[in-house]
A and B are shown apart, each in its own frame.
Chain A
Amino acid sequence: MVRSKKNNKQLTDVELEMMTIVWRIGPCNVHQILEHLPKERALAYTSVSTMVRILEQKHFVRSIKDGRGHLYEAIVSREDYEAASVSSFVKNVFQGEPTQLVMRLLASDQLTKDDLEHIKKLISEKGEP
């Protein structure tokens, strides 16, 4: 896959969460990030390592060789980021998703809040043995 070359100074919620840990503990590897996640957040190694790669792609961190592994170090400081970030934060902006050529987990085009409420109730009813 060709990686995008854009130097996007916006981070998604998820990316921000990872970045916050790097800012807090300084240069670290993936295992250390995992250790510093809150106990409820038992993320998979691959998930964290992918997020860190994304941060690297976005030029927020860079990797330093450390023996056989890598350490990740912040390039952009927290202060710089908070100053530069636009007031309306980026939250999984929904672009035109292809509906035709792919199999989606569920069709969401016409789902409304009411529908979800009904479904939540249905699940809790059925869930009782």
Chain B
Amino acid sequence: MSIVTVVKTYLLINVLIAATSTLVFMITKLGRGARRGLSFSQILRISYLLIGLSLMLPWLPYPETTVKIWQPKAQVWSAFRAKHLIPSASDKNPPLAISVGDMKTPVALQTVTLTMAGLLALGWLMVGWRVFRDTRSLSSILRRSFLLKKIGPVSICTVEDVSIPFSLWLPFQAFVVLPQVLLMEPAKLKLVIKHELQHHRQQDTKWLYAMQFIAALCFWNPFAYFLQKQIGDLQEIACDEALIGHQRISSKAYCDCLLWVAQQSLQSRSLLVGTAGFARGSAAKLLKRRIEEMFRRNGKFAPVSSLLAVGTGIVAAGFLTVATAATQSSVQDERVDRRRAEEMAKAVTSEEFKVVINDLVLDQLNRYLGTPDGRAFMRKGLAAMKTYEVEIERTLTQYNLPLELLAVPLIESGYQNLKGDGVARHGAGIWMFIQQTARDYGLRVDSNVDERLNVGRETLASAQMLTDLKKEFGDWGLALLGYNIGNSAVHKAIRETGSRDVWEIIRQKHENDPNYVASVMAAVLIIKNPASLD
């Protein structure tokens, strides 16, 4: 597993945490009406599902089935027309990564990477220190505690110097720890034990570790904290809901109990710290919300069926999966630099067809080789090419054309023999001739027959057209451009830019399909170096 993959997975986890936090927020806000809706315990379980997915999805291998959606729709223009066509679909998913193309300043990039790695390590060290400290304080508390009784696998204990009851799960033992004073209030003691046991039952004490892990791993990510707070609140309110709803505990008695515990803790705290705290802090807000929810139950809130809750969970999980696929497909996970491209160019032996490597070509090379989408497209295209390769090579040789031109249908259609869709300026076949150009070159295109779909005939037409273009412009770069925008448009471009350098013309925006010529160059390199796709 390369470092780049690790970084990519880490970033993906962070993206999913943000998405989960947003989904949980939306479900909580929209899932509950005034009288009906999801119960908090249902929302909590859906949230657990989403968190689990956020941690697991980034590790799944990227599925290469999304390629069908992305098809470059390059058009072949009539020699006599040069109208603007529909934008190419090939730029829908530009890579998200930052470093593409030449490494002009390698030193600066390394410094930035090292600094970021250093900051991350520092953050994790601080988190680790806090965890260590808390673990020490916790084990000291447990050592000093006395067992009150055991209820199932849970040990209920008491300690003299803890002010708020808490629960803890460890692999072989679960605990509920109570302040000593609580023993003197048997009614409240019962309620608190019930509440804490409900947390154990809801698996909250186990999920606590997942939340801690996420908050530690993504310590710089504000969504990690939102999510932690959201889940914490949901856990408490769901607990209250279970007790008041199912166990038929009086809301008033329960609230009085919470208030009593809060007062006790305040008394013990005021000895050490002044009470000039914040008014309306988050603790107070949550307590207020919990009390309001508890009394709302008396107004008969009807929860929806489990089926609806499960459905909501599945839909939310679906969003998360789509987010993962979308992020994965767009993120560049490999880089091709100039040196590697020049190595690849060595495999191109044609005298006539000169492969050019510049920043534009490198961009396309990185797009095809550096993203999962790009690689998938190329693999499929090369596989489809095998079907027609022999026939096309025969025709190209017949016309004395360089075999590098096999790259053209790869970019035009991915070697898919695409049908025309009835629109005059859309192409068809593997060479993507438009209707007029096809007819100009002797193909029959009417309501009964579309000879563009006859690979042999379309290839002959292409070979003829390419020969004509090469003769007209003398340079393969300009000929390819002519294949894309039409020869009169090329002449116009030469006039306007005053240059016969195809790259100069392209930089002055005379292409119709952006990056067409650069894509063809990149495709040539890839065809000659199929191992680059592995």
Complex formed: what's the CA distance from A12 to B149 in Å? 21
B56 proximal to A (CB < 8 A): no
List the B residue with the shortest CB-CB distance to A99: B134
Q: Could you tell me which residues of chain A, from 41 to 68, have a CB within 8 Å of some CB in chain B?
A: 41-44, 46-47, 50-51, 53-54, 57
What number of A-B contacts does a CB cutoff of 8 Å give? 204
Comparing A20-28, A74-82, A100-108, the segment that makes contact with chain B is: A100-108
Chain B neighbourhood of A106, CB < 8 A? 164, 236, 258, 261-262, 283, 286-287
Chain B neighbourhood of A44, CB < 8 A? 183, 186, 189
B160 touches A96 (CB 8 A): no
Complex formed: what's the CA distance from A22 to B149 in Å? 23
List the B residue with the shortest CB-CB distance to A41: B184
Q: Which of B142, B236, B279, B282 contacts A114, CB < 8 Å?
A: B279
Complex formed: what's the CA distance from A129 to B295 in Å? 10
B148 proximal to A (CB < 8 A): yes
Chain B neighbourhood of A96, CB < 8 A? 137
A84 proximal to B (CB < 8 A): no
Interface 0/1 of B388-426, CB less than 8 Å to A: 000000000000000000000000000000000000000
Q: Which of A1, A93, A115, A126 contacts B295, CB < 8 Å?
A: A126
A123 touches B256 (CB 8 A): yes
Interface 0/1 of A82-126, CB less than 8 Å to B: 000000000111111111111111111111111110111011001
B165 proximal to A (CB < 8 A): yes
**Majority secondary structure, B binding face:** helix
List the A residue with the shortest CB-CB distance to B233: A107
Complex formed: what's the CA distance from A42 to B295 in Å? 28
B131 proximal to A (CB < 8 A): yes
Q: Which of B134, B179, B259 contacts A119, CB < 8 Å?
A: B259
Question: For the side of the interface on B, what is the size category?
Answer: 35 or more
B316 proximal to A (CB < 8 A): no
List the A residue with the shortest CB-CB distance to B136: A98
- Given A97-B163, A106-B261, A108-B262, verify A14-B181 contact (CB < 8 Å): yes
B166 touches A12 (CB 8 A): no
Chain A neighbourhood of B304, CB < 8 A? none
Chain B neighbourhood of A105, CB < 8 A? 164-166, 192, 195-196, 258, 261
A69 proximal to B (CB < 8 A): no
List the B residue with the shortest CB-CB distance to A103: B167
B263 touches A116 (CB 8 A): yes
- We find that the number of chain A residues with CB closer than 8 angstroms to chain B is 54
B291 touches A97 (CB 8 A): no
A98 touches B138 (CB 8 A): yes
Interface 0/1 of A1-45, CB less than 8 Å to B: 111100000001111010000000000000000000000011110
Q: Which of A1, A41, A47, A103 contacts B204, CB < 8 Å?
A: A103
Complex formed: what's the CA distance from A23 to B471 in Å? 117
Q: Which of A98, A119, A122 contacts B137, CB < 8 Å?
A: A98
Q: Could you tell me which residues of chain B, from 282 to 316, have a CB within 8 Å of some CB in chain A?
A: 282-284, 286-288, 291-292, 295, 298
Complex formed: what's the CA distance from A13 to B205 in Å? 31
B55 proximal to A (CB < 8 A): no
Comparing B267-275, B353-361, B434-442, the segment that makes contact with chain A is: B267-275
Q: Which of B143, B166, B283 contacts A102, CB < 8 Å?
A: B166
B165 touches A93 (CB 8 A): no
List the B residue with the shortest CB-CB distance to A92: B268
Complex formed: what's the CA distance from A112 to B273 in Å? 11
B295 touches A118 (CB 8 A): no
A112 touches B262 (CB 8 A): no
A98 touches B141 (CB 8 A): yes
A2 touches B143 (CB 8 A): yes
B266 touches A101 (CB 8 A): no
Interface centre among A2, A103, A110 (most CB of B within 10 A): A103
List the A residue with the shortest CB-CB distance to B208: A103
A101 touches B131 (CB 8 A): yes
Chain A neighbourhood of B144, CB < 8 A? 4
Complex formed: what's the CA distance from A122 to B242 in Å? 21
A-B contact pairs, 6 of them (CB 8 A): A94-B161, A98-B134, A101-B135, A104-B164, A111-B262, A112-B275
Closest 6 CB pairs of A and B: A110-B281, A115-B284, A126-B295, A47-B183, A102-B166, A107-B283
Q: Which residues of B contact A (CB under 8 A)?
A: 130-131, 134-135, 137-138, 141-149, 157-158, 160-168, 177, 179-181, 183-184, 186, 189, 192, 195-196, 199, 204-205, 208, 212, 235-236, 251-252, 255-256, 258-259, 261-269, 271-272, 275, 277-284, 286-288, 291-292, 295, 298
